[in-house]
Structure 1
Amino acid sequence: MTSASTPEERLAALGLAVPEVAKPVAAYVPAVRSGDQVFTSGQLPVRSGELITTGKVGAEVSVEEAVVCAQQCALNAIAAIQAEVGDLSQVKQVVKVVVFVASTPNFTGQPGVANGASELFGEVFGDAGIHARSAVGVAVLPLDAPVEVEVLVAV
């Protein structure tokens, strides 16, 4: 990775592209800018307008599937951020990532699932992608999604 490459170019090198901004499933917007910060709403693992999968991690959803879901959530968060700021090179720092994992009561691998999102932010934004994070197990998420990710970035 060269220092001249943009976040968009890094995504392309991974075989990924910024998707269309995911449509909200209720009364909110995908992201809000406040001064030099952009807060995303919780992003679900929606690809081409549909959830990748549904269910609980540790039951119907494997850890590997959940990691892919977390990566898609992160990609959707990147789309929401780009829609707010225009150019992803405007992102100075991914500050905080919160990953919610709908999981069975005995599943304790939420941090591993969250790595799907964290590693993508690191690959796309380099040092600016290093962030604080919470990985939280929850009983259920909207639309029975297995993972939801919200992000705070400084621009």
Structure 2
Amino acid sequence: MTDVHSRLKELGITLPAVVPPVAAYQPAVQSGPHVYVSGQVPMVDGKLADTGLVGTDVTPERGAELARICALNGLAAIEALVGLDAVVRIVKVTGFVASAHDFGGHPAVINGASEVLGEIFGDAGVHARAAVGVSSLPLGSPVEVEMIAEVR
């Protein structure tokens, strides 16, 4: 894999600042060769980028954009803890989609996170995943993404 910082630059991606916790947790914690990233909501410049339910207030396409923001916030947490150069691979992504009860497009929404991880890390960004529909998320967020990365 190419240098991850060079790849980010190639893609025109600037990682955001680490989102400060809104409750009693750390943005990311290392245990052995893994970094566990807490659930990230789509915060941009200290504010939630959107609110509401996917499928009623938020389009699935916008939900995917928000999931991408969540993934980048997660990478910022990894960068701050151990540095992205330490990442061997993204192991698992869990995405939560606050949605209307009859919405079933959760996987397509969470693709926003999965696809950007693949763009950045190549094969090392391909991961196991769950995309889960929920009735609500913190702060009224439409999506939340957590991840586990293997590091050296």
Category of TM-score, reference length = shorter chain: over 0.9
CA distance in 2, matches of 1:47, 1:14: 19
**2:39 aligned with 1:42:** yes
Instruction: Summarize deviations over 1:74-107 as a string: whole Å, max 9, x none.
Output: 0000000111112x12100100000000000010
**2:127 aligned with 1:131:** yes
CA distance in 2, matches of 1:111, 1:7: 26
CA distance in 1, matches of 2:97, 2:52: 10
CA distance in 2, matches of 1:53, 1:14: 24
Residue of structure 2 in register with 1:111 after alignment: 107
TM-score by length of 1: 0.95
Residue of structure 2 in register with 1:77 after alignment: 74
1:1-150 alignment runs, 5 A limit: 3=1, 5-86=2-83, 88-150=84-146
CA distance in 1, matches of 2:9, 2:138: 30
Q: Alpha carbon RMSD of aligned pairs, Å?
A: 0.9
Counting matched residue pairs gives: 151
* Structure 1 counterpart SS, 2:36: strand
Shift of 1:7: 1.6
CA distance in 1, matches of 2:104, 2:77: 29
State the percentage of identical aligned residues. 54
State the AA in 2 paired with 1:77: G
Q: Is the 8 A contact 1:8 1:18 kept in 2?
A: no
CA distance in 1, matches of 2:5, 2:58: 30
State the AA in 2 paired with 1:148: E
State the AA in 2 paired with 1:94: I
- 5+ long unaligned stretches in structure 2: none
Shift of 1:64: 1.2
- Which has the larger share of strand? 2
TM-score by length of 2: 0.96
